[in-house]
Amino acid sequence: MNAMNMNQGMRQGLHGLRQPAPSGLLPRVGERLGLVEGYVELEGPIGPLFVAFGPSGILLVDRADDAGAFEEEFRVTFGRPLRRLAAAPPRVLRAVDAYVWGRAARRGPAPVDLGHLPDFERQVLIKTLEIPRGEVRPYAWVAAEIGRPRAVRAVGNALARNPIPFVIPCHRVVRSDGHIGQYGAGGPESKRAVLRAEGIDTDELERLPTAGVRFIGSDTTRIFCYPTCRNARRVTDRHRIALRSVDDARRAGHRPCKVCRPVDAPSRAA
């Protein structure tokens, strides 16, 4: 049809009107959607945070003290420079809202990119993402959950190197013996502060194990939990039973909670 209708001149003339997209279009779309790498400063539970992200999710988080040091840390870790962006793309805001503040529902896979880490560290961090806001779990729990029950110390080391604190809540992992444990993003005092900001009574948290209390059971349900498990917190004082170990609990006729899946620390470890 066109062969009859259009001659070569028209064809070329019309074709010549085609113009390529401006070179700035692709980077601007990428930036608006948060699909290029960059970092922004956002509010955090104990002060502002730097949040670095790429197309596959959040890559690095730290407390916002020194932009130069943060950029350098990124460069050393990933071998490329990082640009500061004026505004956070919506997907990063949503991720921080959901994972740091608990203000939005979590949807889909976790918005973190841990591709550069060894398997073990990645498993530890992914498992840690499951610990709900307002609750804590011992290092031994993370180790048991990923099928390496004796690797408690290695779990501690992996969490100490957590590249994405606050989003991956390494502050919610504490020692079984009541010590709050180390914290990469500012030491034990910061760890207490973050936990308190999430509504945890850290004095109580540290007092219980020193008093020999590791688990809380209920004499009506005969189920035992970690003390901060939402199911333990529902047990009224009248029915609360303090338990020192899994054996202790089993002897009293309790079964472990299916939500917090409590385990003993291996005898050697923390």
Q: Any idea which residues carry the catalytic annotation?
A: 170
Could you tell me the smallest distance in angstroms from the CB atom of residue 73 to another protein?
Answer: 24
The encoded tokens of residue 52 equal: 């670095």
End-to-end CA distance of the chain: 82
- Applying CB under 8 A, does 19 fall inside the site for another protein? yes
Please choose, from the candidates 223, 209, 227, the residue with its C-alpha nearest in 3D space to the C-alpha of residue 255. 223
Could you tell me the smallest distance in angstroms from the CB atom of residue 130 to another protein?
Answer: 23
Number of residues that bind another protein (CB under 8 A): 32
User: What one-character DSSP code corresponds to residue 264?
Assistant: P
Q: Which residues contact 7 (CB under 8 A, 6 or more apart)?
A: none
- Applying CB under 8 A, does 253 fall inside the site for another protein? no
Return the H-helix or E-strand segment holding 60.
Answer: strand 57-63
* Residue 259 CA from chain centroid, whole number: 19
- Applying CB under 8 A, does 21 fall inside the site for another protein? yes
Q: Which of residues 161-180 bind another protein (CB under 8 A)?
A: none
Could you tell me the smallest distance in angstroms from the CB atom of residue 68 to another protein?
Answer: 28
φ, ψ of residue 137 in degrees (nearest 5): -135, 150
Secondary structure (H, E, C), 79-145: CCCCCECCCCCHHHHHHHHHHCCCCCCCCCCCCECCCCCCHHHHHHHHHHCCCCCCCCEEHHHHHHH
- Applying CB under 8 A, does 233 fall inside the site for another protein? no
- Applying CB under 8 A, does 150 fall inside the site for another protein? no
- Applying CB under 8 A, does 17 fall inside the site for another protein? yes
- Applying CB under 8 A, does 116 fall inside the site for another protein? no
Could you tell me the smallest distance in angstroms from the CB atom of residue 9 to another protein?
Answer: 4
- Measure Cα distances from 219 to 226, 239, 257 in Å: 15, 5, 13
- Applying CB under 8 A, does 15 fall inside the site for another protein? yes
Q: Is residue 53 within 8 Å of 90, Cβ to Cβ?
A: no
Please choose, from the candidates 187, 170, 168, the residue with its C-alpha nearest in 3D space to the C-alpha of residue 51. 168
- Applying CB under 8 A, does 103 fall inside the site for another protein? no
Binding another protein (rule: CB under 8 A), the pick from 43, 47, 48, 55 is 55
Could you tell me the smallest distance in angstroms from the CB atom of residue 122 to another protein?
Answer: 17
> What is the Cα gyration radius of the chain?
25
Nearer to another protein, 107 or 268 (CB): 107
Binding another protein (rule: CB under 8 A), the pick from 16, 68, 79, 147 is 16
Q: Which of residues 71-100 bind another protein (CB under 8 A)?
A: 91
- Applying CB under 8 A, does 56 fall inside the site for another protein? yes
Could you tell me the smallest distance in angstroms from the CB atom of residue 126 to another protein?
Answer: 17
- Applying CB under 8 A, does 22 fall inside the site for another protein? yes
The contact set with another protein (CB under 8 A) reads: 1-2, 5-7, 9-22, 24-26, 28-30, 32-33, 35-36, 55-56, 91
